[in-house]
Structure 1
Amino acid sequence: MNPTSLLQGRRVLITGGARGLGHAFAEAAARAGARVVIADILVERVQQSAAELAAQGLDVSGLPLDLADPVSIERCVATAVERLGGLDGLVNNASITNSGGKSCEELEIEMFDRVLQVNVRGTWLMTRACLPALRQSGRGAVVNLASDTPLWGAPNLLAYTASKGAVIAMTRSLARELGSDGITVNAIAPGLVEVEATQYVPAARHQLYREQRALQRGQVADDVSGAVLFALSDLSRFITGQTLPVNGGFVMP
């Protein structure tokens, strides 16, 4: 199958599309033939991101989204479905970390709750809001961005690691529930990707990751895009409930 037609005619909503992984996923999906809406709480950045891709002749537009606000989620999904004329794929990419570097004793209760509210509840509510359109599609695919942190137990990252472990568990549960509707639900678990959102991670930690991977180099956003395209496409139509680590061999579960 020609990669440029892998998602031909598909209608895809990607959260967290203002920068980093979400921007890379949007570009890859659009180049594979999809019509894409990206959504983010960074309203100006998401519009700029969409405009940059549209200027390259790609069918990408942007919408505001606050995953902590159920009303914002419903409004975003309704607008995206109307704009695209339906929905074939959802990529739950948006998440927050915010607790990096703090031990379990130092981590504030409010921050723990905030991370789970966005990363776990937000993923559930986005998926729920998209279900009517995904069912109508007849070939719906949900791709949840997890992380390899719950696969090895990242220290001083308790809230984020717990939230991504929950995303992996939800992926399996949703796959069981939605299989009868012909909807696949899979998770992608990247390692430490070198993007703007991980600039807070000390350089020594980035170097440690590079050295301990089987593929000893830094991981960039485009390293993850192929797995997302695969999970959205017909190539994975009989794969569901799975978590695919994409980390250069740092963790091999």
Structure 2
Amino acid sequence: MGGIVDGRHAVVTGAAQGIGLAIARRLAAEGARVTIADLDGDRAEAAAAEIPGAAGIACDVTSEVDVQAVADRALGSGGLDIWVNNAGVTKDASLRKMTLDDFDLVVGVHLRGTWLGVRAAQAAMRESGGGSIVNISSLSGKFGNPGQTNYSAAKAGIVGLTKAAAKEVAHHGVRINAVQPGLIRTPMTAAMTPEALAATEASIPMRRAGEPDEVAGAVLFLASDLSSYMTGAVLEVGGGRGM
């Protein structure tokens, strides 16, 4: 029996580890042929080797040429049905200490990278009759985090981008939605002190951090026909934090 995205081709950026890898695995488990695109091509290929039918490719999401190459490769291998803009980076610092380079890097990877992904994916999907794009924002983009003016700005921008782009392409059968994860157990949260992690978990109504696969479940829903009448929506996956 096939999965809910059986036979579809999915691209997930920044998927060599963490949330992106969980998304790639979940989509593959439900029948999708997955392309893992990551800045580290070797890690992308290694991750893909563990997922049946998956492929890994190097991609700098801030590069128009790289992003278009991934879209073209997907089209050449049978089509593009699902595109997940997940690639991200953090360079946290206070306003007083944050450098212009750190601001530009984070905004570039998240916001420019998502825009390039949306632009390339929707063009490909319009040719084939439709598809689903899922952008990964963050609850940091909803209520802001001290020391993350770059990250919070970029993640808030992804919400605006999602809604504007969704309005442009809805009549072409292309749906664009976003997911806003909260505190999720990843290598980034593993670097937190036990005290900081406990304090953050105490602020969450569900009193725990989420798991990458819980974000992947929301992405799978938006990627599939289960959400066929949804576009421009933003799903929070944060245990009730910030509600």
Flag whether TM exceeds 0.5 (same fold). yes
Could you tell me how far 1:90 is from its partner in structure 2?
A: 0.5
User: CA 1:82–1:203 in 2, change beyond 3 Å: closer, same or farther?
Assistant: farther
Question: Is residue 2:64 matched to residue 1:70?
Answer: yes
Offset at residue 93 of structure 1 (A): 0.5
Cα deviations by residue, 1:96-138 (Å, 9 ceiling, x for unpaired): 112x2x1111110111011111111111111111223211332
Alignment of 1:12-51 (within 5 A): 12-51=10-49
CA separation of 1:198 and 1:81: change in aligned 2, threshold 3 A:
farther
**Post-superposition offset of 1:197:** 3.5
Distance across 1 between alignment mates of 2:183 and 2:128: 34
Match of 2:213 in 1: 222
Cα shift at 1:210: 1.6
Secondary structure at 1:5 match in 2: coil
SS in 2 for 1:144: strand
| Residue from 47, 54, 66 that aligns with 1:60 | 54
Q: What is the one-letter code of the residue matched to 2:239? A: G
**Is the CA contact 1:209–1:250 (under 8 Å) kept in the aligned structure 2?**
no
Q: Which residue of 2 aligns with 1:212?
A: 203
- Which of 70, 85, 95 matches 2:88? 95
User: Where does residue 192 of structure 1 map in the other structure?
Assistant: 183
**Cα offset, 1:68, TM superposition:** 2.1
Distance in 1, matches of 2:145 and 2:153, equals 10
Q: Distance in 1 between matches of 2:44 and 2:118?
A: 20
Shift of 1:216: 1.4
Aligned to 1:5: 3
What residue ranges of structure 1 are gaps of 5+ in the alignment? none
Structure 1 residue 201: deviation in Å? Answer: 3.3
Q: Shift of residue 37 of structure 1?
A: 0.6
Q: Which amino acid aligns with 1:133?
A: A
Distance 1:137 1:193 in 2: 35
Q: Distance in 2 between matches of 1:244 and 1:119?
A: 18
CA deviation after TM superposition for structure 1 residue 74, in Å: 1.7
- Distance, in Å, in 2 between the alignment partners of 1:61 and 1:235 is 26
| Count of aligned positions | 243
**Residue deviations 1:186-244 (CA, integer Å, cap 9, x gap):** 00000121112333333333212221212112211011111000000111111111111
Percent identity between matched residues is 36
Structure 2 contact 62–116 (Cα < 8 Å) conserved: no
Q: Normalising by structure 1, what TM-score?
A: 0.92
Shift of 1:52: 1.4
Counterpart contact for 2:9–2:79, Cα < 8 Å: yes
Amino acid at match of 1:97: T
Q: TM-score, normalised to structure 2's length?
A: 0.95
| Amino acid corresponding to residue 231 of structure 2 in structure 1 | T
User: Which of structure 1's runs of 4+ aligned residues deviate more than 6 A?
Assistant: none
Quick one: which amino acid aligns to residue 86 of structure 1? G
For residue 89 of structure 2, what is the amino acid of its counterpart? Answer: I
Residue 245 of structure 1 aligns to a residue in which SS? strand
